[in-house]
Chains A and B, each alone.
Chain A
Amino acid sequence: MTGSVDEMLDFGDKLPSFPTAVAEAIRMLSSETSDTDGIAAVLQRDQALVAQVLKMANSAFYGVSRRVSTVKQALLVLGRNAVRSLVVAVSAQEFLGRAQPGYLLARGQLWEYSLASGAAASLVAQKVGYKPADEAFVAGLLHDIGKVVLSEYLAERSVELAELVGLAAEPVGFDTIEQELLHIDHAALGGMLCDHWQLPARLSHAVRHHHNPSQAGDDWQLSAVVHAANALTMTVGIGLGVDGLQYVLDENALMRLGLGGDDMEILADELIDQLSRPNPFG
């Protein structure tokens, strides 16, 4: 790997893909010409997927009070975009559930962290009045998806990584270290992956800017919600890898959301209660 452009292309070739049935469902959910019955029929071919999607849609984490019991009902009540995001979120467990050696995360740790971040994003969204809260849940759940691609590259550079993490006189954000080593960070790569999976542009944008929402332009709110959620999850101590809490808090973005230090502590308190409940997704 040499220049940053080459590396971007290289990473682009390595983006993980979903199984054919999931990819087809996502394609249909994105197409304006496909009808609800057709989409439902395609989804129902994968009963395990449907069960997981409904479980997530009905969970307290997701933040929608109305229960949905069939795919068709989910499409009508939640809408196509929400169902598409749920399909992606559920399917992403395949990748998020794996060990991420570059981040020194054992199997299951990134998934646990991602679910907690989704729950946190949902709480933040409710607190600041961001709608829809379920979009925040999915953005929170997927925000670190770029790590599943960067992990193996970081693992190859673990010696340099340890030096950069340990020796900096002034601690810098771990995303800056990723850029120094690999010319891209997990947030940017996560945004690419969301585009690759044809997720709504707002979701990709939020994933891309979850460490610097103040630089997200006009459409900054969702990335700020995810940023706050990310800070809460790290504070609570879920899924801390080699990067730990080594990220710069974007204070301006939190203030723009109307969140003060007291609000963050109350949100952390609520998040702890929510995480103490049995995890519906194992």
Chain B
Amino acid sequence: MKTTNVGLAEYKISSKPDEALGILGLGSSIGLFFFDPRTQTSAAAHVMLPAGRDEEAHPTKYCSSVVPFLLEQMTAAGAQIDELKVAVFGGATMLSSGPTSLLEIGQRNTAAAAEALTKAGLTPVVSDTGGSKGRNVTLEVATGYVTVKVLAQPDRVYADLTLGPEVGR
């Protein structure tokens, strides 16, 4: 299977059954995955920040602007968004030296992604966020299977998003 990797602040859409969409190196950023089980169309976006200065020009960079944009692109690619399955990954954070952290991009990203999805009427079936480790995430376009790799930890496989979250092989 060919894995197409999604770069910083970029997105990819695919309905090729022999393809997987991957996001390598999620730190505090968010990996947002959409899967339409009926047309087997998938989208992956590597979203960097909660909100910011380039929302119109670069909607996939921010949680605040990515969701409507990605829904449009999914629709344009022939997906039926009324049965869309959504998964969210990332939002890791550094360890804090005090009670509150100056650098809360991870937590703020996770919250902003959840808010944007709620606003669009979407509820993630998988949400694997937080911690202080980097994640590599891959979605198989044919099945909707998602694998999360964290270095030095066992892989976490989320079975077919059509069936909801299910951990383990």
Using a CB–CB distance below 8 Å, which chain A residues touch chain B? 104, 158, 161-162, 165-166, 171-173, 231, 234-242, 244-252, 254-255, 259-261, 264-266, 268-269, 272, 275-276
B residues 33-75 in Cβ contact with A at 8 Å? 48-50, 52-54, 61
In the assembled complex, which residues on chain B have CB atoms less than 8 Å from the CB atom of A242? 151-152
Which of B7, B9, B54, B95 is A246 in contact with, Cβ under 8 Å? B95
Query: Closest residue of chain A to B7, judged by CB?
Result: A276
* A252 and B97 alpha carbons, distance in the complex (Å): 9
* A266 and B51 alpha carbons, distance in the complex (Å): 10
Q: Taking the complex as formed, is B144 at the interface, i.e. its CB lies under 8 A from any CB of chain A?
A: no
Using a CB–CB distance below 8 Å, which chain B residues touch chain A? 7-9, 25-29, 48-50, 52-54, 61, 90, 92-98, 101-106, 131-134, 150-153
* A230 and B102 alpha carbons, distance in the complex (Å): 14
Which of A244, A251, A269, A276 is B97 in contact with, Cβ under 8 Å? A251
Q: Quote the shortest CB–CB distance from A34 to chain B (angstroms).
A: 43
Q: Are B27 and A237 in contact (CB under 8 A)?
A: yes
In the assembled complex, which residues on chain A have CB atoms less than 8 Å from the CB atom of B134? 237, 240-241, 244-245
Q: How many contacts A-B (CB < 8 Å)?
A: 126
Beyond the given A237-B134, A246-B132, A268-B105, could you list 13 further A-B residue pairs with CB under 8 A, ordered by the A residue number? A165-B152, A235-B29, A235-B105, A245-B28, A248-B94, A250-B97, A251-B97, A251-B102, A255-B102, A264-B102, A265-B50, A268-B48, A276-B7
In the assembled complex, which residues on chain B have CB atoms less than 8 Å from the CB atom of A260? 102
Q: Are A171 and B95 in contact (CB under 8 A)?
A: yes
Which of B8, B93, B97, B102 is A245 in contact with, Cβ under 8 Å? B93
Which of B25, B52, B101 is A251 in contact with, Cβ under 8 Å? B101
Q: Quote the shortest CB–CB distance from B102 to chain A (angstroms).
A: 5
